[in-house]
Structure 1
Amino acid sequence: MEAYLKTKVNNLFRKLKITILFVLIGCATYAQTIELSGQVTDSLNNPLENANLLAIPQSDEVPVGFGITNKAGAYKIKLQSNQSYQLTISYLGYKPLTVALKTSEETKVARNFSLSENIDVLNEVNIAYTPPITVKKDTIIYLTDKFVTGDERKLREVLKKLPGIEVDKAGNVTANGKKVTKVMVENKAFFNGGSKLAVNNIPADAVDKIEILENYSEVAMLKGLEDSDKTAMNITLKEDKKKFVFGEIEAGGGIKERYIVHPTLFYYSPETNVNFIGDVNNTGVKSFTFNDYMEFEGGVSKLLERSGGYSSLKNSDISAFIDAQDYKANTNQFGALNMRQSVSESTDLSAYVIASNSKTETEVLTSNDYLNNDTSFIENRTETNELNNQFLIGKLTLDYEPSFDEDFTYTSFVKLNTTDSDGLILTENPSQNNQIQTLDALDGLQLRQNLSYSRKLSKAHTGTLEANYTFIKDKPFTNWLTDQEILQDILPLEDDAIYNIQQTVRLNTHTFNALVKDYWVLNNFNHLYTSVGVNLAFSDFYSRDLQQLSTGEINSFSNAGFNNDFGYNMLNTYFGLEYKFMIGKVTIKPAAYYQFFFWETGQESERTTHNKGVLLPKFDVELDINNSETIGFKYTLNAEFPTIKNLATNYILSSFSSVFKGNETLQNELYHRLVLSYYKFSLFKGLNINANLSYNIKEKTLKYITQLDGIDQYNSLILFNQPEQELMFFGGASKKINKIRYSFDAQLSYSNFYQIVNEETNKNNSKNISGTLGIETLFKAVPNLKVAYIKSANIYMALGDETTFENDNILVELEYDFLDDFIFKADYNYDLYRNDAAGIKNRFDNLNASLFYQKEDQPWGFELSVSNAFDTKFKQSNSFSSFLISDTKTFILPRIIMFKVVYKL
C-alpha cells in the first residue's frame, strides 16, 4: 500500500511539474512588456542620480512600474502595452512632476524629463509627496505601501516585494547584495537583533517604512572610525500601530496525533515594547537553532573577531544538541519574552528571557571506511538516541546615551542548560561486533558581564573602553554499558557480566578582558588608532574515568594514566597601532599588534610556567569604485593557543572506541590568512555580483597523532611544523530581466594536510566543488516559481586512493495567490546521491505543500499543509577526516498532514 501510494503521488507530481512548466511559459508571455527609458535632469540639464520614477496603472490587475536613475540620470522601466499610467518623477529638493502616459504596441519608448528646483522646500512644514524610495549615501528608505497589495501576512512577504531586497526560507535578509546582520524596530533592537524572529513574525500591515543602513555602527560616533561592513534594517511602524497590541495565534492538529500551537504577540509604544513568541509542537519545527544561538552570542561577524570564538561555540556541548535538525521524532516547547522600557530620553532598559524544552529521537546509519596503512577496512555502525534538552537564556541591557558624544552600555547575561540522553550503538567490523548503551548528562552554567563606554574626547580624539567578565561551569557525565571489553590495550577492565564504565568531568573557567582604544583623526584622510588590552583566563579541568563493578566496587583507571586535575592560567597583554589613510578612492590600513603571553599549566600542585612574545601584522586595502562596487584585500597573521582539554596530560575517554591524551608543552598555532573580495550591486540593471577568495597557510598547527587498532583510536596532539594550505572560493551573480531573476553561484575549496597514523606521516587533500543555477519569477497576478539545480562533488585523496561523492539536487518552489483570499505554496527537493567507490546510489525526494485561506480584513485564517509528502525515510551525506571516510544515512520525520487555524489580532 505504501509503495502504491508513493507511486501515485510521484505520478501526480510529474503531472504537476508539466503543468508548472506550461504555467511558467504562460507567465512569461501573458502580457507584452515595453521598455520606457530616458534621462532625468534639472533645469540646467545636469543629470539627477537616484531620482524616483513611479508608474501607477489605472487597472488594478496591472503591476506598478518603478525605476531609479543611475549616475548619468538614465532610467529604465518595464511597463505593459496598451495600458494607461500616471507617471510621477520625484527628487529631493525638486518639485515632483506627474504626467499621463498611455502605452501602445511599441517595444521601446524614450522619454526625457526635467525637474524644477523647489525653492520653497525649506519653508514647508509638510511635504505632500513622499517618493517610494529615498536613496542617500549609505541609507535606502522604502515606503512599503507603494509596493504591497494588502494580501501580505508577514514582514517577509513585504520585503520580497521591495527592489534590492531578498529573503530566504529561514528568514535571512539580503539588501543590495549584503546580509542584514541587525534588525531594529523604531531604532531599537528587536529581540537580539537577528532577522529571523522579526521577518517571520511582525505583521505586514503594521509596517510603514523599511530603512536599510549600510556600514552600520552600534555607536553612532564611531561611524567612519571603526571598520564596519555591517548592514542593518530599521522598521518604522504605522502611526496607528505605535501604541497597539498586534500579532496572531496559530493552532493546528494532524494525523498521528500531530499538533502545533504558535502565538506571536506584540505590544508597542514609544516608551514600552513587549514581545512574546511561543511554540509548542511535535512536527519537527525548531524555533531556536544554532544560527539563533550564534546571534545571541553576538553574531558570526563578532565571533570571527575573537580568536577561536566561532569554533569554540560550534564545538560546545549545548551547540551539539541544538544544532541537530534531522530526527525521527521531536517535541519542542519554546518561549521568548522581550521587554524594553525607555526610562528617560537618554536611558533605555531592555531584557529578554528565552526558554526551550525539547525531546528528540534520532537514528543514524554510518559506513566508516578506515584508511589504515596496513589493512583498510569498513565498519558499519548504527546509532539511536533519545535526548531531552532544556535551556534558559536571559539578558539584561542598560543603554545610556546622554549625547552624541557619549555612550555607555552594560549587559548581564546568564545561560543555564540541562541535557540527558539515552543511546544505543551497534558496531560491526572485522575485529568485533558489539552493542554499547550510552547514558549522557550535562549541566551547564554561564554568566557574563560586559560594559562598553565611548566618549568624544576632543575634535580629533575619540576613546573607547570595553571590559567583560565570564564564568563558565560545565559538568558532563557519560556512562557506557556493554557485555564485551572495549579499548582492551589501555583500559584496565576487570571481568564482569556487564562492563559499566563511567566518566565525570568538571570544567570551570573565569575570564576577564579589557581593551582601551583611542581613535585619532589627524585629518579627513589620515587616522591613527592605538589599542592597549589585557586578557586573563583561569581554568580548571577535572576528569575521572572508572569501572563500577556489579558488586558495587570501584575500579579506578588512575594507575593506567587516566584522570586529570589540571590547571591552566593565561595572562595576555597587547599593544596595537593602526594607521588608516585614503588616496583617492583607496583606503589603506596597515596595523601591527605586539602580544605578550604568560601561562601556567600543570596537574594538581605541580605547575610549570611559560612565556613568549608574538608580533602579529595586519594589512587591509579597499577600493571603492563607487557606492555600489568595491574591491577589498585583507591579510592577517593569527596566533591561537590550545584549550585546557588539549593541554591536560592524562588520558580521558572520548568515546567507546577512542582515548585522548593532551600535551602540556603545546604552544600556539600560527597561520596566515589572505582574503580578496569583490562586490557589485546595481538596482538600475538588476545585477548583483559577489566574489570572495581566501587562502590560509598554516605554519604551525595542532596535529593529532593517531594509533589505530581496528576501530579503536588512541589520540594525542603535537605542534606540527610542516606547512598546510587551504584555498576557498565563493562567487555568485544574479540578474533580473523583466519579471524573472536568474542566478548562478559556485563554491570551491581545496586543502592539503598531513595525517599521522600508526607512526606514518602522509599528505592528503580534499576538494569540494559545487555550483547552483537558479531561476525565479516575480509576477504579481499569476503563479510564481523558483527553480534551482545544484551540482556538488566531494573528492578525497588519502594514501594514494581517491574517493568521490556526488550530489545532483533540484529545488522547486511554487507560490500562487488566487481568488483574492487563497495562497498555495509548495516546495519540492530531489536529491541523487552517488558514492562510486562503495557502489552506493540513492535517490530521495521531498515535497511540502500548504493551502491558506484568509478573507481580507477578517481575523480568521485556515491552512491545510503536508510535509514530507512522499514519506522519505532518510537523508544521505558524507564526511572526511585524516584517516576516515564516512557515508551516513540520517533518518527523518515521516509524512505529516496538518490543519491549522490562525487568529489575527
Structure 2
Amino acid sequence: MSNKLFCILFVFFIALMPFANAQQIVISGKVTDTLKNPLVYANVLAIPQNDNESVRFAVTEKNGSYKLGLEQNQTYEITVSYLGFVSQKDTITTTDKKQSITKHFVLKENIDQLETIELNYTPPVSIKKDTITYAVDAFATGNERKLREILKKLPGIEVDREGNVFSQGRRVTKVLVEGKVFFTGNSKLAVNNIPADAVDKIQVLDNYNDVPLLKGLQDTEDLALNIKLKEDKKQFAFGDIEVGVGIEERYLIHPNLFYYSPKTNLNFIGDLNNTGIKSFVFTDYLEFEGGTNRLLNDTGSYFNLFNSDFAQFLNNRDFTANTNQFGAFNIRQSINNKLDISSYVITSNSKTGTERSALNTFLNTNNTFTETRSTTNSLNTFFTIGKLTIDYDPNNSVDIGFNSSVKATNNDNNGLINTINPNFNNSIATITDVTNINLKQELRITAKLTKKHTGTLEATHNYQNDEPITNWITNQQILQGLIPLEDDTIFNILQTKTVNSHTFNAVAKDYWTVGNFNHIYTSIGVNTLASNFFSSDAQQLSNGSINNFNSAGFGNDFSYNFFNAFAGIEYKFQIGKTEFKPAGYFHYYNWDTQQFNERFSNSKALFLPQFTSKTEFNNSEKLNFRYRVNASFSSIDRLANNFILSSFNRVFRGNTALENQLSHNFSLSYYKFSLYRGLNFNLSTSYNRRAKSFKNVTQLDGIEQFSTPILFEEPEQNISFNGRLTKKVNKFRYTVQGRFSYSDFFQILNNETNLNISKTTSGTLKVETLFKKAPNLEVGYTKDFNSFRSVNTINRFENDRLFTNLEYRFFKDVVLKADYALDVFNNEGANVRNTFDTANLSLFYQKEDSPWGFELNATNLFDVRFRQQSSFNAFLISDNRTFILPRIILLKLSYKL
C-alpha cells in the first residue's frame, strides 16, 4: 500500500515540476473607444506563430481592462475586436526574461455600417449579458470523441465523472441542441453521446427560461447549455456504433445515431451490456419529473419521489452482477414557424445482483447492542417512459405549451436477509413485485396581455397507481407480539398494497410591470388530491388456509382528499445594484380521511411569507439571499391508521390526526467568476429551522420495532456551509472545496425523548493540468469527518481518499486514460479500519481520418470486491460493506458514421 501511495505522490510532484519552472510574460492594458470610454466584453486574441503553442485570449472587464499570460520566447499576433468597431492588430515578441507588458488599444467606430467586414478568425469566447459563447475550434485538437471531452477543455466549464456539467461553478440544468431540448434536457445523455466533431459552438445561457415572454419576469437560476452544430451537420446523419467483448463472457453494444435538419431531428441511443453501465439512473428520473431545481422547491415532493419503490430500484449503483438493455428514441418536428412537436420514448430492462453486509449498532437507551446483517438481492427492473410536447406560438404575444407523459414500470426482486443478533439468528427470504402506471398532462399558456401586463395559466393533472406485493418467508417466528402468527413449519407472510391518486393543480398569475424597477405579481391557484390506499397483511399456511391479520388491527382501506386554495402577491423592486422581492401567500387548506366507517375532517388557514434579494455587482459577481416559510402535509401512507408491515422487523401505523409541518428556510449564496483570470468562487450557506415536524415514535425490542408518527413541536435545526474555489494558473487548474453541516434532531425511543447531534465536515484539494498536446494529470485528496452524538455515546467516522486521473495522447493516434483512487475508512466506535483501492484503464487507437477505432478497457483493475461506508439515523448506526463487480476487461471496436 505504501508503495502505491509513493508512486502516486511521485507522479504528482513530477506533474508540478513544469509549473515550478514555468515563467509567463504578462501583458495587460485597457481597450477603449476614441472618446476613452471603456469597451466591455471586447475580445483580445493572441495567436502564436508556433503551432505547438495554444491560442491565448481575454475578455475585457467592466472598466475595459484585460490581462493575458504569454509564453517566453514566442511571437504572437494580438487582435482586438468589438462589435461595431474596426478591429486592431499588433505583433508582440516575448523574451526569456520575466517581464510585464502594458499595451492599450483604442478602437475606432465603424462608420460605414453597410460595408461588409471580413474577419479571418473567430473569437474563441464572446460574452453578452446572459450568454457566453465558445468557438470549439479554438480549444479542440480534433481528436476528441464525445462532447464531454470538448467541454473539459473550455475555460470555466467542468464535467464530472457522471456527466454533470458545471459552468462558473454552477450546475447546468438543461442541455439544448440548436435551441431545442435534447431528450429530457439532462446533461448526461448529451455529453456522453453527442459526437465531438459535430459541434461548432457551445453557448452557456444564464437565467434560462423555456418561455421567452417570461424572460426578466420569472425568477430562475437555471443554467442551460446550447450546442450549435457545424453547418454540414445541420442536415446530416451522424453518430457512432461501439461493440465490445471481454473475458468471462462480458459484452457491450452501444449505438448513437443522430439526424438533424432545420425541421426534423431524430436521435437514437442504445445500450446493451453486462458490465455494470446504467444509462438511466435516479438523477435522469428527476429530469423526467420536472428537474432537480423545481423539485427541491417542494422538498416534500422530492423526498416522496426519492423514497418511492421505483426510485429505490434506480438508486442501486453498486452491483455484483448487472445486465442492462436500454433504448432511447427522440423525434422533433417543426410543422411550421408557429408549431413544434417533439416526443421521446425511453425503455430500460435490467437484471441486477446486489450484496451488502452491515454491522448495526442499535442505540437502545437501556441496552445498546450490535447486529450483523447480510442482504443479497436479485432484481429485474423494467420501465418505459414516454413524453409528447407541443409548442405553439401563434404570434409574438402568445406562447402555448402542452405536455403529456406516461411512465410504466414492472420490477421484481428475490432477496435473502441473514441476521445475527442477541435475541435470535434468522434467515428471511423476500420476494417483491412492484407495478406502477403514471399519467401526467400539463398545459401552459403565456400571453402578453398589454404593454405592462403578462399573464400565465398553468394546469397539471396526474394519475398514479402503485401495486407492490411482498412476501417474507422464514422458518422462525418474527415480530412476536406485533403480528398474530400461527405455528407452521414455514412462516410465509404476504403483503399486498394498492395506492392510487389523482392530483390537479392550477395557477393563474399576472406579471405587472409598473416601471423598469417596479414589478407587482399576483397569483391565485388551487391544488387538489384524491387518493386511496389499500393494504392487506396475512400468513399463508402450509395447508393452504389464510391467517388474516385484520383482527390484530392490520389492513387498511383508506381514502384521503386534500384541497388547497391560495392567493399571493409579490413586489419586485430595485435599489442600486440590489433587487428585492418580498412576497406573501395566503392558503386555505381542507382535508378529510375515511378508514372504513371512521371519518376525520379538518381545515386551517396559513399565511406563508417569502423574501428574496439579488445583488449583481457585475455580470460575473452576484449575491443571492432567500427566506421562505414552508408548510407541508403528510402523504397518505403516514395517515392510514391501521398497522402495516414495513419490513421483516418493522411494523408501522399511521396517524390520521397529523396536520402540517412548518419550517423556516434561509439561504445565502455568493459567486464570482472571472474568465480571463480563470477564477470560479462559490460560497453558500443554508439554515433550516423546523418549528413543527413529523416524528416517528418508536418502540424498539431487539432489532424489531414499532413506529407511529406524531406532529412534534420541539424546534430542530440544520445548518450547512459549502465553498468552492477554482483557479487557473498557467496550464494548471487548482480546486479547493469544503463542506460543513450541523443538525440537531430529537428521537423518541422506548418512551424517552433525546436530542441527537450530527456533524459532517469534508474538504478536497485538487490540481489538474490543461496541456493541449502533453499528458494531462489530475491529482486530488479528500478528507471526510463525521460524528454522531446520541444519548450515551459519540461515534466518529473518517474517510481519506486520494485520487488521480491521467489522459495521455502519444504516437498521435493513441490515447491512454487511467484513474486510481485509494480510500482509507475508519470507524472509531466499532474499531473498524479498512483500506481499498480502485483503478480503471483505457487504451484507445484511431488513425486520423479513419472511421474505425479500437479500445482496450479495464475496470476495477485491482479486482476490489467491496466499498465501505457508515450511516446513521435516530437510533441506528451502520457500518456497511457494499460488494461490487469484479475486474472486467473489454476489447472494443467503434465505427464513426
1:402 matches 2:400: no
Question: What is the CA-CA distance between 1:605 and the residue it aligns to?
Answer: 4.1
2:288 aligned residue (296, 300, 307)? 296
Helix, strand or coil for the counterpart of 2:11?
helix
Residue 740 of structure 1 aligns with an amino acid whose one-letter code is F
Helix, strand or coil for the counterpart of 2:287?
helix
Residue 507 of structure 1 aligns with an amino acid whose one-letter code is V
Work out whether residues 579 and 613 of structure 2, in 8 Å CA contact, stay in contact via their aligned partners in 1: yes
> Which residue of 2 is the match for residue 897 of structure 1?
889
Helix, strand or coil for the counterpart of 2:855?
strand
Helix, strand or coil for the counterpart of 1:769?
strand
> Which residue of 2 is the match for residue 387 of structure 1?
379
Helix, strand or coil for the counterpart of 1:263?
strand
Describe the superposition over 1:717-770 as per-residue Cα deviations: whole angstroms up to 9, x where unpaired.
110111111111111111111111111111111111111111011111111111
> Which residue of 2 is the match for residue 202 of structure 1?
194
2:40 aligned residue (49, 53, 72)? 49
Structure 2 Cα separation of the partners of residues 821 and 27 of structure 1: 25
Structure 1 Cα separation of the partners of residues 6 and 607 of structure 2: 65
1:787 matches 2:748: no
1:450 matches 2:442: yes
Question: What is the CA-CA distance between 1:346 and the residue it aligns to?
Answer: 0.8
Describe the superposition over 1:3-36 as per-residue Cα deviations: whole angstroms up to 9, x where unpaired.
xxxx8xx96x567536633641454367643222
Helix, strand or coil for the counterpart of 1:286?
coil
> Which residue of 1 is the match for residue 508 of structure 2?
516
Greater CA drift, 34-43 or 743-752:
34-43
Percent sequence identity is 53
Residue 275 of structure 1 aligns with an amino acid whose one-letter code is N
Describe the superposition over 1:792-836 as per-residue Cα deviations: whole angstroms up to 9, x where unpaired.
111000013100000011111111122211111111111100011
Work out whether residues 853 and 895 of structure 2, in 8 Å CA contact, stay in contact via their aligned partners in 1: yes
Greater CA drift, 78-87 or 660-669:
78-87
Question: What is the CA-CA distance between 1:55 and the residue it aligns to?
Answer: 1.6
Question: What is the CA-CA distance between 1:608 and the residue it aligns to?
Answer: 2.1
> Which residue of 1 is the match for residue 866 of structure 2?
874
Structure 1 Cα separation of the partners of residues 681 and 384 of structure 2: 41
2:161 aligned residue (144, 160, 169)? 169
> Which residue of 1 is the match for residue 828 of structure 2?
836
Residue 795 of structure 1 aligns with an amino acid whose one-letter code is S
1:666 matches 2:658: yes
Work out whether residues 351 and 394 of structure 1, in 8 Å CA contact, stay in contact via their aligned partners in 2: yes
Structure 2 Cα separation of the partners of residues 500 and 119 of structure 1: 88
CA 1:208/1:547 → structure 2, altered by over 3 Å: closer, same or farther?
same
Structure 2: unaligned runs, 5 residues or longer:
none
CA 1:659/1:809 → structure 2, altered by over 3 Å: closer, same or farther?
same
> Which residue of 2 is the match for residue 335 of structure 1?
327
TM (norm. structure 1) is 0.97
Question: What is the CA-CA distance between 1:100 and the residue it aligns to?
Answer: 2.4
Question: What is the CA-CA distance between 1:307 and the residue it aligns to?
Answer: 5.1
Structure 2 Cα separation of the partners of residues 452 and 106 of structure 1: 63
1:368 matches 2:346: no
Question: What is the CA-CA distance between 1:432 and the residue it aligns to?
Answer: 0.3
1:741 aligned residue (733, 736, 750)? 733
Q: Mapping of 1:132-143 within 5 angstroms?
A: 132-143=124-135
> Which residue of 2 is the match for residue 4 of structure 1?
none
> Which residue of 2 is the match for residue 626 of structure 1?
618
CA 1:736/1:579 → structure 2, altered by over 3 Å: closer, same or farther?
same
Work out whether residues 562 and 591 of structure 2, in 8 Å CA contact, stay in contact via their aligned partners in 1: yes
Residue 183 of structure 1 aligns with an amino acid whose one-letter code is V
Helix, strand or coil for the counterpart of 2:161?
coil
> Which residue of 1 is the match for residue 240 of structure 2?
248
Work out whether residues 602 and 664 of structure 1, in 8 Å CA contact, stay in contact via their aligned partners in 2: no
2:52 aligned residue (61, 64, 68)? 61
> Which residue of 1 is the match for residue 559 of structure 2?
567
Structure 1: unaligned runs, 5 residues or longer:
1-6
1:848 matches 2:844: no
Describe the superposition over 1:81-119 as per-residue Cα deviations: whole angstroms up to 9, x where unpaired.
112222211111111122222221132233222222112
Residue 80 of structure 1 aligns with an amino acid whose one-letter code is E
1:601 matches 2:593: yes
Q: Mapping of 1:113-132 within 5 angstroms?
A: 113-124=105-116, 130-132=122-124
> Which residue of 2 is the match for residue 497 of structure 1?
489
Greater CA drift, 727-736 or 100-109:
100-109
TM (norm. structure 2) is 0.98
Structure 1 Cα separation of the partners of residues 334 and 892 of structure 2: 37
Q: Mapping of 1:34-433 within 5 angstroms?
A: 34-108=25-99, 109-124=101-116, 130-306=122-298, 308-433=300-425
Structure 1 Cα separation of the partners of residues 319 and 306 of structure 2: 20
> Which residue of 1 is the match for residue 521 of structure 2?
529
Structure 1 Cα separation of the partners of residues 84 and 412 of structure 2: 64
Structure 2 Cα separation of the partners of residues 190 and 537 of structure 1: 32
Work out whether residues 464 and 516 of structure 1, in 8 Å CA contact, stay in contact via their aligned partners in 2: yes
Greater CA drift, 776-785 or 443-452:
776-785
Structure 2 Cα separation of the partners of residues 764 and 162 of structure 1: 45
Q: Mapping of 1:658-697 within 5 angstroms?
A: 658-697=650-689
Structure 1 Cα separation of the partners of residues 25 and 420 of structure 2: 67
Work out whether residues 220 and 404 of structure 1, in 8 Å CA contact, stay in contact via their aligned partners in 2: no
1:576 matches 2:546: no
Structure 2 Cα separation of the partners of residues 15 and 804 of structure 1: 28
Question: What is the CA-CA distance between 1:677 and the residue it aligns to?
Answer: 1.3
CA 1:892/1:403 → structure 2, altered by over 3 Å: closer, same or farther?
same
CA 1:343/1:125 → structure 2, altered by over 3 Å: closer, same or farther?
farther
Work out whether residues 48 and 74 of structure 2, in 8 Å CA contact, stay in contact via their aligned partners in 1: yes
Q: Mapping of 1:10-25 within 5 angstroms?
A: 17=8, 20-21=11-12, 23-25=14-16
CA 1:329/1:896 → structure 2, altered by over 3 Å: closer, same or farther?
same
Residue 563 of structure 2 aligns with an amino acid whose one-letter code is L
Structure 2 Cα separation of the partners of residues 729 and 22 of structure 1: 31
Greater CA drift, 306-315 or 759-768:
306-315
Structure 2 Cα separation of the partners of residues 774 and 14 of structure 1: 16
Work out whether residues 23 and 783 of structure 1, in 8 Å CA contact, stay in contact via their aligned partners in 2: no
Question: What is the CA-CA distance between 1:122 and the residue it aligns to?
Answer: 4.6
Describe the superposition over 1:129-174 as per-residue Cα deviations: whole angstroms up to 9, x where unpaired.
5422221111111221122221111111212222222222222111
CA 1:55/1:798 → structure 2, altered by over 3 Å: closer, same or farther?
same
Structure 1 Cα separation of the partners of residues 707 and 456 of structure 2: 44
Question: What is the CA-CA distance between 1:512 and the residue it aligns to?
Answer: 0.6
Structure 2 Cα separation of the partners of residues 220 and 567 of structure 1: 42
Helix, strand or coil for the counterpart of 2:172?
strand
Work out whether residues 279 and 334 of structure 1, in 8 Å CA contact, stay in contact via their aligned partners in 2: yes
Work out whether residues 27 and 782 of structure 1, in 8 Å CA contact, stay in contact via their aligned partners in 2: no
Helix, strand or coil for the counterpart of 1:169?
coil
Structure 2 Cα separation of the partners of residues 25 and 587 of structure 1: 44
Structure 1 Cα separation of the partners of residues 294 and 19 of structure 2: 44
Work out whether residues 68 and 676 of structure 2, in 8 Å CA contact, stay in contact via their aligned partners in 1: no
Structure 2 Cα separation of the partners of residues 708 and 306 of structure 1: 32
Question: What is the CA-CA distance between 1:655 and the residue it aligns to?
Answer: 0.4
Structure 1 Cα separation of the partners of residues 296 and 598 of structure 2: 35
Q: CA RMSD in A?
A: 1.4
Describe the superposition over 1:252-277 as per-residue Cα deviations: whole angstroms up to 9, x where unpaired.
11111111111011000011000000
Structure 2 Cα separation of the partners of residues 103 and 415 of structure 1: 62
Q: Mapping of 1:457-496 within 5 angstroms?
A: 457-496=449-488
Structure 1 Cα separation of the partners of residues 686 and 248 of structure 2: 49
Structure 1 Cα separation of the partners of residues 151 and 114 of structure 2: 32
Helix, strand or coil for the counterpart of 1:490?
coil
Describe the superposition over 1:325-381 as per-residue Cα deviations: whole angstroms up to 9, x where unpaired.
011111100000000000111111100000000001111001110001111100100
Work out whether residues 57 and 676 of structure 2, in 8 Å CA contact, stay in contact via their aligned partners in 1: no
Helix, strand or coil for the counterpart of 1:607?
strand
Work out whether residues 600 and 656 of structure 2, in 8 Å CA contact, stay in contact via their aligned partners in 1: no
- The size of the alignment, in residue pairs, is 896
Helix, strand or coil for the counterpart of 1:201?
coil
